[in-house]
Amino acid sequence: MKKNVAVISLGCDKNRVDTEKMLYSLNKAGYNLVSDYSSAQIIIVNTCAFIESARSEAIDTILAAAQYKKDKLEKLIVTGCLPKKYSAELKDGLPEVDMFLGTENYYALPEIIENLYGDSSNYVPTCDKFDCSDRFLSTPTHYAFLKISDGCDNHCTFCTIPSIRGKYVSRSEESLIEEAKMLEQSGVKELILVAQDVTRYGIDLYGEYRLVPLLRKLSALDFEWIRLMYCYPELVTEELICEIDNNAKIAKYIDIPMQHADDSILKLMNRRGNSGDLAKLLKRISECKNHIAVRTTFMVGFPGEKQENFDNLYNFLSEYKIDNVGIFAYSDEEDTPSFRLKNRVNAETKAKRVEKLGELYKNIRIEKNKALVGKTLKVLYESIDFDRNMFVGRTQYNAPEIDTAVYFTGEFADVGTFYDVKITGYDEYDLIGETVENIGD
């Protein structure tokens, strides 16, 4: 009898896709996938190690899972970025864990588990190559992430990812189209392209950047929205901007993590391009015939960030009024170049700068929401907020899980269906409205 397996997925959407590939191979091998940890004989924790807080969350989750060894739990397996980077330390520090695996060979998990039980395995992995497409969706059925590559070649001085995930490796176009077809057939309406750097796609495999040709092939499939996350500013080309503007299947949205907008800090971060280049890019995007919503992330408190550097970032945001903004405080990561930089910014100052930039972004969001009152927007219905007794959805200008939402009323709504919603108001970051018409799924 195959055992009960529970899988806990931590970290980013790329890790989530890896987890979905694990779920597929476990299910294919006949394991019972359970969400009740107390009934699991095997628990797998797929971890993140990006920053200190992610590592603590991973350790806490592993220790919490280990508690189930008092119940039915027989094997505790830890995978992902944490063991990939710290396997030696973990082996000493976490005797509760039976097996540590890195960020590869998820398709061999059934075999690895059988070996762990000392059984000789006749399990043949369904796939062993990097760009296999079989996976079990863990997102709501109307959207899914498509991980187009792994690793990163940008080497920002604050980032541990290149030392964990290694060099940039693109998946083949064929395997991506095969996977996208599988997602299309399973009813996915919104395909979200993710990687450490989506814009670098193809250069390692085909010797040229191939994101636009890939987008055109994906657009031939029956998706409503194809969304681009993690685009590196310098690689957002004129061709890509035009493709987003003119291709009806591509969501009028682009995520461009800029990290900062002060030239000297961008230099210390080893970011290519300066504030002038970022301004030029935002100006070019604002000239498109369609409104293209930009998302970005800014990091404050980087070593050496003086008040005037922060003011430059503040003024940049206040001038370019970016649609969706994530704001983070710098986190000191041991074996990164920025760890050796002087002129640290203390925690209190970091917190004040996060708050100040956050306040600015909130006011920008309120101004943008005010301008949308009276407009009718196409909204993808996702869930119900029972406290507000309202339906919740998103427009093409908002990515799932990280951006703002639309709360609306109406006769009835079907999850994963698109509705025309008339905007009647807003509540700080989020919009409020009422359905005008069901425009189908």
Site residues (CB under 6 A) for ligand SF4? 152, 154-156, 159, 161-162, 196-197, 232
Quickly tell me which residue has 């079990």 as its tokens.
136
Query: How far apart are alpha carbons 184 and 178 in whole angstroms?
Result: 10
406: left (phi over 0), alpha (psi -120 to 50) or beta: beta
Q: What percent helix, strand, coil does the chain show, rounded to 5?
A: 40, 20, 40
CB of 51 to ligand SF4, least distance (A): 11
C-alpha span between 276 and 291 (Å, rounded): 22
Buried b (16+ CB within 10 A) or exposed e, 392-406: bbbbbbbbbeebbbb
The CA distance from 373 to 164, in Å, is: 45
Taking the least distance from each CB to ligand SF4, the nearer of 7 and 152 is 152
Closer of 197 and 255 to ligand SF4 (Cβ): 197
Cα–Cα nearest to 321, from 368, 371, 258: 368
Which positions ≥6 away from 362 have C-beta within 8 Å?
428, 429
Shortest Å distance, C-beta 196 to ligand SF4: 4
Cβ closest to ligand SF4, residue 247 vs residue 274: 274
* 15 neighbors 80 (Cβ within 8 angstroms): yes
Cβ at position 50, least distance to ligand SF4 in Å: 8
In whole angstroms, the minimum distance from the beta carbon of 303 to ligand SF4 comes to: 16
Instruction: Tell me how far, at minimum, the Cβ of 158 lies from ligand SF4, in Å.
Output: 7
**φ, ψ for residue 239, nearest 5 deg:** -60, -40
Checking DSSP bridges between strand 225-228 and strand 149-150, what pairing results, if any?
unpaired
Measured from the CB of residue 195, what is the shortest distance to ligand SF4 in angstroms? 9
Nearest CB to ligand SF4, comparing residues 142 and 200: 200
Residues 159, 328: Cα–Cα separation, whole Å: 13
| Cα dihedral sign, 249-325-381-36 | positive
Which candidate, 283, 272, 198, places its Cα nearest to that of 238?
283
Nearer to ligand SF4, 131 or 197 (CB): 197
The distance of closest approach from Cβ of residue 276 to ligand SF4 in the complex, given in angstroms and rounded to an integer, is 20
Helices and strands, counts by H and E, the chain: 13, 18
Report, in Å, the least distance between residue 236 CB and ligand SF4: 13
Start-to-end CA span in the chain (Å): 40
Residue 225 CB, shortest distance to ligand SF4, in Å, is 24
CA 355 to chain CA mean position, Å: 23
Quick one: 152 or 282, whose CB is closer to ligand SF4? Answer: 152
Rg (CA), the chain: 23
Residue 135 and residue 20 in contact, taking contact as beta carbons nearer than 8 Å? yes
Shortest Cβ distance from residue 327 to ligand SF4 (Å)?
Answer: 15
Shortest distance (Å) from residue 157 CB to ligand SF4: 9
Burial 363-389 (b: 16+ CB within 10 A, else e): ebbeebbeebeeeebebbbbeeeeeee
- In this complex, which beta carbon is closest to ligand SF4, that of residue 50 or of residue 316? 50
Q: Which is nearer to ligand SF4, 117 or 339 (CB)?
A: 339
Whichever of 81 and 293 has its CB closer to ligand SF4, that residue is: 81
- C-beta of 156 vs 278, nearer to ligand SF4: 156
CB closer to ligand SF4 out of 81 and 152: 152
Dist CA 102 CA 94 (whole Å): 16
